[in-house]
């Protein structure tokens, strides 16, 4: 419907029609009486005409009001309720039969609507089944892909052209040092300079395959990351998104700095005695006995030099051994070597102490495998035992055989060769040097063995349960229109944080405080997996028993919880850049805003209240409690989750997601349009937006 009355609801429009009818009847009645009196031409008859007119006017007005009330109760209100029910089924997927009883005066309209709704439900069920089958198949594929990506040791980020996170894997979440969130600015986590410059370099290069290697640092923790950037899609686009892969090189840099410091110290400590020795030798009288003072000086300097060299060498060896070269489970190591030998037609048995070793497993397997092959080729043996023993301070890997001893000269020649075709340029000697160890043949009572000492990381217990390292993504963020303000953003494209609080009471002005905050992040109309905020808050005051009875949170539970200053700051960071959504938002916002000075950040986010959204969709006269709204939308809240902050936040989020298409169908697509309509409903407090 268009025209000046389009913005009014059905009931108000009907009321306006009856008001117009009443005004028209009264005007016509007045005009008729005036014309009659004028024609009669008797001045004394005016009182009679006025009296008759008032009686007829009140009677007509009463009749019209009575008919309007009947019409409103039996037609307009049921029609509006019927429309809301149909919209809930059409747009929010609500189920159940339509109640036709209130619409009995609408003739066949209510049964026809019920039949249409039933047919729609059947169609929706069939469609949902087909979609579910396809969704399951895609979800399986997705799961496999996610498993692959989550196991990548490097951090991987996909970032939109506006530097907002679109994808991150578990390693990235670990390395960034703060829980990342989709649609948040990358610069909340990494300093922006090198990233912006790399993006500009790649854009100006204009090549799809171009990459840029950069060093960047994390905002939290000041980790140094070595990163590689590659643009996504067309590099000629104005602001293309990009992939960032990175690893932590803080330890590498620290090791470099330590090595540099040791080298500097070495030179400093050697330079002085070298200079002293050169000076003494320079003035030493040739062919004469050594003067006692010079002899003493020479002895002192040589002794000092010798002590310095010994000390520096010991520190160099300790530092070298402490370098990180990876870890490997001893059983994996020996089985890997045995497998390599058996693959070449040799016999191999494996046995290992339950240890985790500090070594590059792949290189050690390649080295011992190579030596086993060399021993077989040279005729020493074709059957081996690969054993790893615990020596207390460390471990020794043995490649044992029955037969002739291996000359160490032969072993040295093999160690000078490459260990694997896949590792060009890496010799056995290089592997030993990298591991600060050595390898030698040894004769034992059981036969011959090659011994390779390796450092132990720790004793191995049962394999721990794998840590869930989910990947989180929403690729639709890449194609989202850039530059749109919140007001012009479609509701379905909003990044929203739906939250709820539990409190000590209902009166923030009289000292009631928050005891729990829970929130869920919604990006592009979907839950952002894993992006959930849920914390207890220490209210610094006792929780009344009647409040504990509602939400189940007691004084003991919040004793070790953070105060609102910290929990509020964490929540503010979680909600950064998002629209806040809550059911009866003014209540929760009042609690939060009281503590803005302590939190150190204003809650000046755009806010939406699902109470008001419900009023827009279902009319003011409907009940808008969270229970009533969720019931109307066909959302089930488990009883145990009700009146918990996270349970209510989930229910509110679900209701919000179902209200979005209903608002859209009513022509309220953008945040700005919804806000204007909500304001018209008059309950939105002016301080919210």
What sign results for the dihedral spanned by CA atoms 182, 187, 190, 196?
positive
Q: Is 51 helix (H, G, I), strand (E, B) or coil?
A: helix
CA-to-CA distance for 206 and 237, rounded, in angstroms? Answer: 9
Tokens of 301: 């300097």
Q: Which of 520, 660, 652 is nearest to 587 (CA)?
A: 652
Nearer to another protein, 136 or 310 (CB): 310
Which of 127, 222, 261, 313 lies at the binding interface for another protein (CB under 8 A)? Answer: 313
306 part of the interface to another protein, by CB under 8 A: yes
**Pairing assessment for the beta strands 383-390 and 347-352 based on DSSP bridges:** parallel
Segment near another protein (CB under 8 A); pick from 46-54, 125-133, 430-438, 622-630:
430-438
Active-site option among 320, 572, 643, 681: 643
Length of the chain: 689
Segment near another protein (CB under 8 A); pick from 55-63, 268-276, 407-415, 570-578:
407-415
138 and 156 in contact (C-beta within 8 Å)? Answer: no
319 and 258 in contact (C-beta within 8 Å)? Answer: yes
Nearer to another protein, 31 or 440 (CB): 440
Which of 437, 504, 538, 644 lies at the binding interface for another protein (CB under 8 A)? Answer: 437
544 backbone φψ class: left, alpha, beta (φ>0; ψ -120 to 50) = beta
Nearer to another protein, 272 or 469 (CB): 272
Please report how close the Cβ of residue 186 comes to another protein at its closest, in angstroms: 46
For this structure, is 643 an active site residue? yes
In this structure, how many other beta carbons lie within 10 angstroms of the beta carbon of residue 371? 23
Please report how close the Cβ of residue 442 comes to another protein at its closest, in angstroms: 5
Please report how close the Cβ of residue 382 comes to another protein at its closest, in angstroms: 23
Q: Which of 312, 327, 258, 317 is nearest to 437 (CA)?
A: 317
CA-to-CA distance for 214 and 247, rounded, in angstroms? Answer: 11
407 part of the interface to another protein, by CB under 8 A: yes
Segment near another protein (CB under 8 A); pick from 259-267, 336-344, 433-441, 549-557:
433-441
416 part of the interface to another protein, by CB under 8 A: no
Please report how close the Cβ of residue 411 comes to another protein at its closest, in angstroms: 9
In this structure, how many other beta carbons lie within 10 angstroms of the beta carbon of residue 591? 19
453 part of the interface to another protein, by CB under 8 A: yes
Nearer to another protein, 151 or 442 (CB): 442
Outline where DSSP puts E strands in 80-182: 155-159, 165-168
Please report how close the Cβ of residue 313 comes to another protein at its closest, in angstroms: 7
405 part of the interface to another protein, by CB under 8 A: yes
543 and 514 in contact (C-beta within 8 Å)? Answer: no
> What separation, in Å, do the N-terminal and C-terminal C-alpha atoms of the chain show?
30
503 part of the interface to another protein, by CB under 8 A: no
CA angle 657–663–664, rounded 5-degree value? 95
412 part of the interface to another protein, by CB under 8 A: yes
CA-to-CA distance for 561 and 558, rounded, in angstroms? Answer: 5
CA-to-CA distance for 429 and 369, rounded, in angstroms? Answer: 15
448 part of the interface to another protein, by CB under 8 A: no
Nearer to another protein, 392 or 422 (CB): 392
Number of residues that bind another protein (CB under 8 A): 19
Q: Is 667 helix (H, G, I), strand (E, B) or coil?
A: coil
236 part of the interface to another protein, by CB under 8 A: no
Please report how close the Cβ of residue 303 comes to another protein at its closest, in angstroms: 9
Tokens of 538: 């220490």
442 part of the interface to another protein, by CB under 8 A: yes
Which of 54, 263, 408, 507 lies at the binding interface for another protein (CB under 8 A)? Answer: 408
Nearer to another protein, 437 or 504 (CB): 437
Segment near another protein (CB under 8 A); pick from 49-57, 302-310, 622-630, 668-676:
302-310
Segment near another protein (CB under 8 A); pick from 310-318, 497-505, 553-561, 587-595:
310-318
Nearer to another protein, 313 or 343 (CB): 313
438 part of the interface to another protein, by CB under 8 A: yes
User: Is 469 exposed, middle or buried (CB count within 10 Å of its CB: 0-12, 13-18, 19+)?
Assistant: middle
Contacts of 387 (CB under 8 A, 6+ apart): 334, 350, 351, 352, 397, 398, 400
Segment near another protein (CB under 8 A); pick from 121-129, 239-247, 301-309, 461-469:
301-309
What sign results for the dihedral spanned by CA atoms 116, 117, 122, 128?
positive
Please report how close the Cβ of residue 453 comes to another protein at its closest, in angstroms: 6
436 part of the interface to another protein, by CB under 8 A: yes
Please report how close the Cβ of residue 405 comes to another protein at its closest, in angstroms: 7
396 and 357 in contact (C-beta within 8 Å)? Answer: no
281-286: long-range pairs with CB below 8 Å, 24+ = none
Nearer to another protein, 297 or 436 (CB): 436
Please report how close the Cβ of residue 408 comes to another protein at its closest, in angstroms: 5
CA angle 161–164–168, rounded 5-degree value? 115
State which H helix or E strand residue 555 sits in: helix 555-558
Nearer to another protein, 140 or 295 (CB): 295
Nearer to another protein, 224 or 305 (CB): 305
Which of 200, 317, 416, 687 lies at the binding interface for another protein (CB under 8 A)? Answer: 317
289 part of the interface to another protein, by CB under 8 A: no
311 part of the interface to another protein, by CB under 8 A: no
438 and 432 in contact (C-beta within 8 Å)? Answer: yes
Which of 51, 264, 310, 402 lies at the binding interface for another protein (CB under 8 A)? Answer: 310
Nearer to another protein, 411 or 472 (CB): 411
309 part of the interface to another protein, by CB under 8 A: yes
525 and 555 in contact (C-beta within 8 Å)? Answer: no
651 and 630 in contact (C-beta within 8 Å)? Answer: yes
Place of tokens 């066949």: 108
Which of 41, 285, 409, 422 lies at the binding interface for another protein (CB under 8 A)? Answer: 409
The site for another protein (CB under 8 A) is made up of 305-306, 309-310, 313, 317, 405, 407-409, 412, 436-438, 440-442, 451, 453
The catalytic residues are 643
């Amino acid at each position: 419907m268009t025209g000046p009355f389009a913005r009014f609801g059905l009931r108000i429009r009907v009321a306006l029609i009856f008001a117009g009818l009443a005004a028209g009847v009264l005007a016509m009645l007045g005009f008729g009486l005036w014309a009659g009196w004028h024609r009669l031409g008797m001045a004394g008859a005016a009182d009679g005409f006025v009296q008759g007119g008032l009686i007829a006017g009140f009677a007509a007005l009463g009749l019209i009001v009575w008919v309007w009330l009947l019409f409103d109760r039996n037609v307009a209100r049921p029609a509006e309720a019927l429309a809301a029910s149909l919209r809930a089924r059409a747009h929010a997927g609500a189920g159940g039969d339509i109640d036709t009883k209130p619409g009995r005066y609408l003739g066949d309209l209510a049964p026809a609507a019920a039949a249409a709704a039933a047919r729609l439900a059947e169609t929706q069920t069939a469609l949902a089944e087909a979609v579910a089958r396809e969704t399951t198949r895609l979800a399986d594929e997705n799961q496999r892909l996610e498993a692959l990506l989550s196991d990548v040791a490097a951090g991987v980020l996909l970032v939109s052209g506006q530097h907002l996170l679109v994808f991150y894997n578990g390693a990235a979440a670990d390395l960034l040092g703060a829980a990342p969130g989709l649609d948040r600015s990358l610069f909340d986590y990494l300093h922006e300079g090198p990233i912006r410059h790399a993006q500009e370099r790649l854009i100006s290069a204009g090549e799809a395959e171009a990459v840029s290697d950069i060093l960047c640092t994390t905002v939290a923790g000041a980790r140094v990351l070595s990163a590689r950037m590659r643009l996504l899609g067309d590099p000629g686009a104005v602001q293309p998104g990009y992939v960032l892969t990175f690893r932590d090189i803080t330890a590498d840099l620290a090791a470099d700095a330590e090595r540099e410091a040791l080298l500097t110290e070495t030179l400093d400590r050697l330079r002085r005695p070298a200079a002293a020795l050169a000076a003494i030798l320079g003035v030493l009288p040739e062919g004469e006995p050594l003067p006692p003072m010079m002899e003493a000086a020479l002895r002192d300097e040589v002794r000092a030099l010798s002590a310095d060299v010994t000390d520096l060498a010991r520190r160099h060896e300790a530092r070298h051994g402490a370098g990180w070269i990876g870890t490997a489970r001893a059983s994996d190591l020996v089985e890997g070597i045995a497998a390599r030998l058996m693959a070449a037609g040799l016999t191999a048995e494996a046995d290992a102490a339950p240890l985790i070793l500090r070594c590059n497993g792949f290189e050690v397997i390649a080295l011992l495998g190579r030596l086993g092959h060399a021993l077989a080729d040279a005729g020493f043996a074709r059957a081996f035992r690969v054993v790893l023993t615990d020596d207390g301070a460390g471990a020794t890997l043995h490649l044992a055989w029955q037969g002739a001893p291996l000359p160490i000269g032969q072993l040295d020649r093999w160690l000078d060769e490459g260990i694997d075709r896949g590792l060009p340029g890496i010799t056995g000697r290089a592997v030993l040097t990298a591991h600060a160890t050595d390898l030698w043949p040894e004769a034992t009572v059981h036969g011959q063995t090659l011994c390779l000492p390796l450092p132990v990381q720790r004793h191995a217990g049962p394999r721990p349960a794998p840590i869930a390292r989910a990947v989180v993504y929403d690729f639709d963020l890449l194609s989202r229109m850039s530059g749109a303000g919140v007001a012009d953003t479609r509701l379905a494209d909003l990044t929203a944080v739906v939250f709820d609080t539990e409190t000590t009471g209902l009166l923030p002005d009289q000292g009631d405080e928050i005891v729990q905050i829970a929130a869920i992040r919604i990006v592009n109309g979907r839950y952002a997996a894993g992006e959930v905020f849920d914390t207890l808050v220490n209210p610094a005051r006792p929780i009344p028993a009647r409040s504990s009875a509602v939400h189940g949170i007691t004084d003991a539970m919040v004793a070790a919880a953070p105060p609102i200053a910290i929990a509020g700051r964490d929540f503010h960071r979680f909600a950064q850049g998002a629209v806040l959504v809550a059911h009866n938002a003014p209540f929760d916002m009042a609690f939060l805003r009281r503590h803005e000075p302590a939190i150190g950040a204003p809650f000046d986010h755009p806010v939406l209240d699902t109470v008001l959204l419900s009023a827009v969709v279902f009319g003011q006269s409907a009940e808008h409690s969270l229970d009533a709204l969720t019931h109307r939308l066909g959302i089930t809240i488990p009883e145990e989750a009700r009146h918990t902050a996270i349970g209510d936040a989930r229910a509110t989020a679900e209701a919000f997601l179902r209200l979005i298409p209903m608002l859209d169908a009513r022509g309220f697509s953008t945040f700005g349009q919804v806000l204007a309509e909500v304001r018209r409903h008059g309950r939105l407090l002016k301080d919210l937006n």
